[in-house]
Amino acid sequence: MWWGVVAALLANLLFSIGFVVEKRALSALPPLSAARPTQVVLHLLRSPLWIVGAGALGLGFVAQLAVYRTLPLIAAQGLFVTGLVMLLLLSSIFLGEESSGGERRSMVLILLALVMIVVSLRGEEEPISRHAPTAPLLLVCVPAILAGLALFATAERRSRRRHRLPTSGVPYGVAVGFLYGVSSLAIKGVAGHLDTGDLGGSALAVLTSPYPYLLLVTGSSGLVLSQTALQRCRASLIVPVCTTVTFLFTVAAGTLVFAEPLPDDPLRLALRLGGSALAVTVLLALPRHETGQDEPGPEAPPGPAAAAAVAPVPPAPAPPDPPRSVGPPPPAGPASPLGAPSSVGLRRSVPRPSVDRPARGPADERPVGRAVDVTRPVRHPHEEGTRHVT
């Protein structure tokens, strides 16, 4: 059983190295699209660095075979979840993806979950299921594969919309997690058919089971989808989401399909379930979005130049009012024929610059209006007699 723990830790290290190396290789490749899988595969095979990362992932899958042969399903998945600590450390060192304070605290809690799961393995050997009926297995795996493909296609359509929000990477991680969950069940089935004493019979038993064909489907589709998602988002963002979905699906579906019993000892049962629940809770609490900028540090005291730059500028003085005339008010104009003051004097209340004009006589002071015959007598409506307009 302890060989299974060592194999699980080795698989975690290989998976973390493979994801980090592939992420470095993907940053130098042109943009990938899951709608063109052949082009994606050709781009990947032309990158020697990506081939190195894929080789590390392949060795990690081989180590998983030893884990599933020696450890119960829920214990194996709990140990695989703890590989997130290695991934965060390697991505911070080699990819420059700085971990936040919450992610560093999550590492400590995941290590605690690892200790709880390892302690729950102490004691007597537990029965490990190695085979699952074909019909229930396909009834669980086929809808999961279709759900993963449909979710990824939906995320792709949304990413091509105009005025869309920035992609957080969660839909990609969930879609790939469904595919990797089916792969985990298939690997467990293949591990149950392996027999080192009869390799020919083991190969025949594996080929007549649905496990290699499930691996072929999930491996090819998962390759294209995971590399496309890994190129667009942070490795420390995609992998935790994918790991969470893989853990939940494998434990729920695998326990049902393989009918694997849990420990009878209450303490061991509590440690195993508690450690697995703690690991999943920590993964769910991790941030699922890209941070815009780092938090600002303490502000330095402003220097003389900065103080002068931020000093308030006094307002400009208001322009003085134009000079007003202080002389006596201009005389009102002569009365109009209707008894109201003439408007000539009112229009000349504002002084104007003097202009040389010919002298005006008394006859020029009559009000402006229609022409009046000065020789005809005019009767005013309020006067009884008549008068001549002069």
pLDDT at 329: 57
Where do we find the tokens 């941030």? 287
Nearest Cα to 288, choosing from 162, 161, 103, 85?
Answer: 103
Mean pLDDT of 96-122: 75
User: Would you say residue 139 has pLDDT above 90?
Assistant: yes
User: Would you say residue 283 has pLDDT above 50?
Assistant: yes
Count of structural domains, the chain? 1
Where do we find the tokens 């769910």? 284
Name residues whose C-beta falls within 8 Å of residue 265's C-beta, 6 or more positions apart in sequence. Answer: 123
pLDDT at 14: 92
Percent of the chain with pLDDT over 70: 67
User: Would you say residue 51 has pLDDT above 90?
Assistant: yes
Residue 337 lies in a domain: no
Residue 144 lies in a domain: yes
Q: Residue 345 — pLDDT band, cuts 50, 70, 90?
A: very low
User: Would you say residue 126 has pLDDT above 80?
Assistant: no
pLDDT at 46: 92
Tell me if 23 sits within 8 A of 230, measured CB to CB.
yes
Residue 373 lies in a domain: no
In angstroms, the CA 192 to CA 195 distance is: 8
Where do we find the tokens 């990824």? 152
pLDDT at 216: 92
Q: Which of 105-109, 165-169, 206-210, 281-285 has the least mean pLDDT?
A: 165-169
Could you give the C-alpha distances from 368 to 25, 238, 354, in angstroms and in order? 95, 91, 22
Q: Which of 86-90, 120-124, 136-140, 214-218 has the least mean pLDDT?
A: 120-124
Average pLDDT, the chain: 75
Residue 88 lies in a domain: yes
Number of Cβ within 10 Å of residue 129's Cβ equals 17
Residue 291 lies in a domain: no
Number of Cβ within 10 Å of residue 348's Cβ equals 12
pLDDT at 352: 56
User: Would you say residue 135 has pLDDT above 50?
Assistant: yes
Query: For residue 275, what are the domain limits?
Result: 2-197+206-285
Number of Cβ within 10 Å of residue 179's Cβ equals 28
Q: Residue 377 — pLDDT band, cuts 50, 70, 90?
A: low
In angstroms, the CA 328 to CA 162 distance is: 74
User: Would you say residue 36 has pLDDT above 80?
Assistant: yes
In angstroms, the CA 68 to CA 191 distance is: 6
pLDDT tens for each residue of 292-342: 433 333 333 444 444 444 444 455 555 555 555 555 555 555 554 445 454
Tell me if 335 sits within 8 A of 365, measured CB to CB.
no
pLDDT at 241: 79
In angstroms, the CA 96 to CA 94 distance is: 6
pLDDT at 346: 46
Residue 151 lies in a domain: yes
Phi, psi angle pair for 344, to nearest 5°: -70, -45
User: Would you say residue 343 has pLDDT above 80?
Assistant: no
In angstroms, the CA 253 to CA 221 distance is: 21
Residue 367 lies in a domain: no
Residue 164 lies in a domain: yes
Nearest Cα to 35, choosing from 225, 173, 175?
Answer: 225
Specify the higher pLDDT residue, 218 or 283. 218
